Structure 1
Amino acid sequence: MDRRPETLAAQALHHIDAETGAVIPPLHPATTFARDAGNQLIGPRDYARPQGPNADHAAAIVAALEGAKAARLFASGLGAASAVFETVAPAGHVVAQSRMYHGTRKLLARLAATGRITLSWFDPDAPESLAGTIEPGRTELVWIETPANPSWTILDIAACARAAHEAGAILAVDGTCAPPCTTRALDLGADLVMHSATKYLNGHSDVLAGVVATRETDARWTRLGEIASLSGATPGAFESWLLVRGLRTLFVRFERQSANAMALARALRDHAAVSHVLYPGLATHPGHAIAARQMTGGYGGLLSLRLKGGFAAAGKLAASTQVFIQATSIGGVESLIEHRKPIEGPDSPTPDDLVRLSCGIEAEADLVGDLVAALDGL
C-alpha cells in the first residue's frame, strides 16, 4: 500500500532488521566488507567511503520524502554544495542569487576567483532579473535558496526552473530552510535539491551532514557520485545512523517549530524596538503568496528581527535572552538567537541590525515572553 510521507519518515521506511527483528536500524561501523572464496562480494559493497549501509538508509528516506529518483549523503551541507558545483564543466557559467547563506556565497565567490567557474549574481528581491542574468547556451547551473538565510526572501521555484530550462541550464535548490515536509522542490521543476542535513533533517544539533537528491539519475548524477567517493566527503556510520533517528521526527518537529515562529512573529511585529519582522508566514511578507503555494506544511521555525537601535541593539538583544541560546545554527529542537553580521563578516550583505531566530519545540509562552522581556530591556 502507498504510505504518506509522515509515515515513511516515522518508520524509517518501515525498516525492520532482518536478522534480529529490531525496529531500530542497526549501526554498521565497518569500513570494509568481505569477499567469498571465489573473490565475489558477499554484500553490495566492498568499502564504506562511496556510501555505507547507514548512509544508504538515510539517503533512501530523503529520496522518498523528496519524491527523488535517488539521494546521496555528504559530510556536510557545504560538502554537498561543493560536489554539485564540481559537476559544472571547467569555467562553466553558474548563476546564483546574491543574498543567501553566507557559507555557500563565500564558496561560490572562491570558485569564481580561482577560475573554476564563471559566476553571475542576480538579485533575489528582483527575481525578474534572473532571466536577464542567465545566458542561453552558456549558463549550465542556476543555484537558488528559498527561503534565503537570514532574510527569508522567497523565490518561486517553478518560475526559476522554467527560466533555467528555457536556457538549457539546470536548477539546483538549497532547500535547507524548507525541508520536504513542507516543500518538494523537485515536484516544482528543480533538477537537484540540496540540504544541510545538520539543520532540520536531523534536528538535534548533533550531526554534521549534507544530502543531494535528484529528479533524474543522469550523467551529472553519476559524476556527483564519483566526486563524493573520490573526494572522501562522505559521512561516517554513526552520523548517518543519527540522521535516520532525526528524520523520524521531522514532521512533528517542523509543525511545532512553525507554530512557535508564527506566534513570535505576530507577537513582535508591533514591538517598539522592532523595525521589521522577516517571516514568510506573515501576510505582510513580500513573498508570502509564493510561500503559501510552496510551503504546504508550514512556514518553518526561522525568522529574523531588524531593530531600530541598529548594530548595538542587535548585539545586546542576542546576549540578553534567557530561553533562546546565543549560538550558531538553525533547525534544532532548542531555540537559538544570533546577531548575524559579526558572524558573517564585514563583506556580508546582511544588515547590521538583523537578529536571526531559530525556534525550537519549547513552550510558545516561554519563547514569546523571553523575547518580549529582552526587547523591553533594550
Structure 2
Amino acid sequence: MTRPDDQFGKNRFATIAVGAAESETHPQRSGMNDVVSPIHLSTTFEWGSGEYANEHDYSRESNPTRAALEEQLARLEGGEHALAFASGMAATSTTMLSLVPPGGHIVSSDSIYSGTEKLLTELAAGHLGVNVDFVDARDPKNVAAAVGSDTDLIWVETPTNPLMRLCDIRTVADIANDYGILFGVDSTFGSPYFQAPLELGADIVVHSTTKYLNGHSDSIGGAVITNDDGVFEQLAFAQRTGLGNMLSPFDCYLVARGVKTLPARMEHHEANAMVVAEFLESHDRVARVDYPGLESHPQHKLASEQMSGYSGMLSFEFDGTAIELEAFIKGLEVFTPGASLGGVESLIEVPSLMIPDEIGHGEATAAIPETLVRVSVGLEDADDLCEDLRTALP
C-alpha cells in the first residue's frame, strides 16, 4: 500500500506539501523571494495596464494569498483547479447549489455529515425542489439503481462521518461516466495524503480544510478541487461573485502553513489510530470498533485498495448505558470531549450526547447508535492515549 505519487509528476507528495514547487510558478513573491507566502490583507490593488498590469484587483475576486493556497491544494490532489471557501459547508453547498438546478436530482450516500444532510433535505429539497435519493453507497449497485438520465450529481463521503463506511470511488465513477453525471467526493477524513479521488475517477473533491489540511484547530475553511474546466468556472463564479464565500487571507495563510506538515502529521495520526483501535477492540466494554485499518472492518480490503493509509478517525460502540457512557467521557484527561476533528490534539465526541440536534433522524439516512463514540486520534503518545481510555472506561 503506497502513496500514488505518479500523479504529481517529478515532485512527490511531501515535496509539494512543503511548497518547494512554488518556486516554479512564483520565483519572486512580492519581489522578496519569500520562502513563506506572505499574507496580503489589502482589499484592493492598484490598477495597471500593459507591463504594469496586475492579475489582482479586488480581494473578493482574487487575492494573492488565496491564489497561492488554491494552487497548492490543486497540486496536492493532482487537480487542475482549486477554490478555497469560508468553511467546509460553504464548499459543499456552493458545489451542490451551483451544479444542480432547482428541481434537479442528486443521489447521495446515506451516511454523511449531519450538516450535509440538512443541506440536502432542508435547503436543496425543501426550498429548491431538488429530488434527493439517499442510498447505501457501500454497495455500488444501490447507486446504479438510483441514478438516471435526469440525475445531476452523485455525492458520497468516504470514509463517512461518523460511521466510517466506505464507497468504492472507482466503481461509482464508472457509473457516473456511463450516465454523464458529475461525481463529487467529500474526502475530508482521508485527506489528500491518504486518498486521491480524482485519480480514481471522481470529478470533484471537497475538503473541510478546518480538519486535517489545517491540522491545528485554529482555522475554519473548505476547498473544492476539480479537473473539469466547466465545473471550475461555475464554482468560481459562485464563490467570487454569486455568494462571495471565499476564505480570508489570514485563514489561507494558516491552512497553507498546516499543509506543509500534512504528510508527517497523517503518518502519526494513522499510527496512533491503529494502536487506539486495537486497544478498544480488545476491551470488554466496547461492542464494536469501526476503523478501516482493522481487518475486522467489513470494508478493510476496499480501504487497502483505494487508500494509501487509514487516517486518524475511528468510531466505536460503547457497551453500556447512556449514564455509564457519560461517566466515561467525563473521566477522560488526555482526550478532550468536543466537536470537530483532524487537529493535533485527540478529541472524542458522543453525537447523541453532545450534538443531539445535529443527528439525522430521517428514515432515508443511516441511523447513528445512541452509544456511538467518534474519536479523532491526535499526535500525543499512543501509550498515554490508551492509558487514558483504560482508566476512564468502567
Shift of 1:126: 4.0
State the distance in 1 between where 2:54 and 2:134 align.
46
In the alignment, what sits opposite 1:21? 33
Aligned Cα root-mean-square deviation (Å): 1.7
State the distance in 1 between where 2:208 and 2:290 align.
22
Higher alpha-carbon deviation: 88-97 or 345-354:
345-354
CA contact (8 A) 1:12 1:61 kept: no
Stretches of structure 2 lacking an aligned partner (at least 5 in a row): 1-8, 362-366
Aligned residue among 154, 157, 160 for 1:142 = 154
CA contact (8 A) 1:63 1:71 kept: yes
In the alignment, what sits opposite 2:82? 71
Give the aligned residue type for 1:287: Q
- SS of 2:294's equivalent in the other structure is coil
In the alignment, what sits opposite 1:61? 72
State the distance in 2 between where 1:288 and 1:221 align.
33
In the alignment, what sits opposite 2:16? 8
In the alignment, what sits opposite 2:374? 356
Shift of 1:39: 9.7
State the distance in 2 between where 1:321 and 1:238 align.
34
State the distance in 2 between where 1:216 and 1:358 align.
33
State the distance in 2 between where 1:17 and 1:371 align.
50
In the alignment, what sits opposite 1:200? 212
Aligned residue among 323, 331, 337 for 1:320 = 331
Aligned residue among 176, 185, 192 for 1:173 = 185
CA contact (8 A) 1:196 1:211 kept: yes
- SS of 2:378's equivalent in the other structure is coil
State the distance in 2 between where 1:322 and 1:268 align.
17
Summarize deviations over 1:169-215 as a string: whole Å, max 9, x none: 11100000011111110000000000000001110001111000002
State the distance in 1 between where 2:65 and 2:238 align.
19
Shift of 1:124: 3.1
In the alignment, what sits opposite 1:120? 133
Shift of 1:20: 2.0
Summarize deviations over 1:8-49 as a string: whole Å, max 9, x none: 10136344654223311111001111113x699731021111
State the distance in 1 between where 2:112 and 2:321 align.
21
Give the aligned residue type for 1:364: A
Q: What is the TM-score of this pair, normalised by structure 2?
A: 0.91
State the distance in 2 between where 1:182 and 1:371 align.
26
Stretches of structure 1 lacking an aligned partner (at least 5 in a row): none
Percent sequence identity over matched residues? 37
Matched, 1:222 2:218: no
Q: What is the TM-score of this pair, normalised by structure 1?
A: 0.94
Matched, 1:52 2:70: no
Gap change, CA 1:12 and 1:206, over 3 Å in 2: farther
CA contact (8 A) 2:346 2:376 kept: yes
Shift of 1:149: 0.6
Give the aligned residue type for 1:68: G
In the alignment, what sits opposite 1:241? 253
Shift of 1:344: 4.3
In the alignment, what sits opposite 2:322? 311
CA contact (8 A) 1:278 1:303 kept: yes
In the alignment, what sits opposite 2:5? none
Matched, 1:287 2:295: no
State the distance in 2 between where 1:17 and 1:206 align.
29
Summarize deviations over 1:90-128 as a string: whole Å, max 9, x none: 211001011111111111111111134211110134442
In the alignment, what sits opposite 1:333? 344
CA contact (8 A) 2:19 2:72 kept: no
CA contact (8 A) 1:33 1:41 kept: no
Shift of 1:64: 0.5
Greater fraction helix: 2
Summarize deviations over 1:201-247 as a string: whole Å, max 9, x none: 110001111000002212x3211111101211111110001110000
Shift of 1:367: 0.7
Summarize deviations over 1:129-178 as a string: whole Å, max 9, x none: 1111112x111100000000101001110011111221221110000001
CA contact (8 A) 1:207 1:242 kept: yes
State the distance in 1 between where 2:92 and 2:52 align.
32
In the alignment, what sits opposite 2:4? none
Matched, 1:164 2:176: yes
In the alignment, what sits opposite 1:300? 311
Give the aligned residue type for 2:381: A
CA contact (8 A) 1:143 1:171 kept: yes
Matched, 1:129 2:142: yes
Matched, 1:273 2:285: yes
State the distance in 2 between where 1:73 and 1:51 align.
11
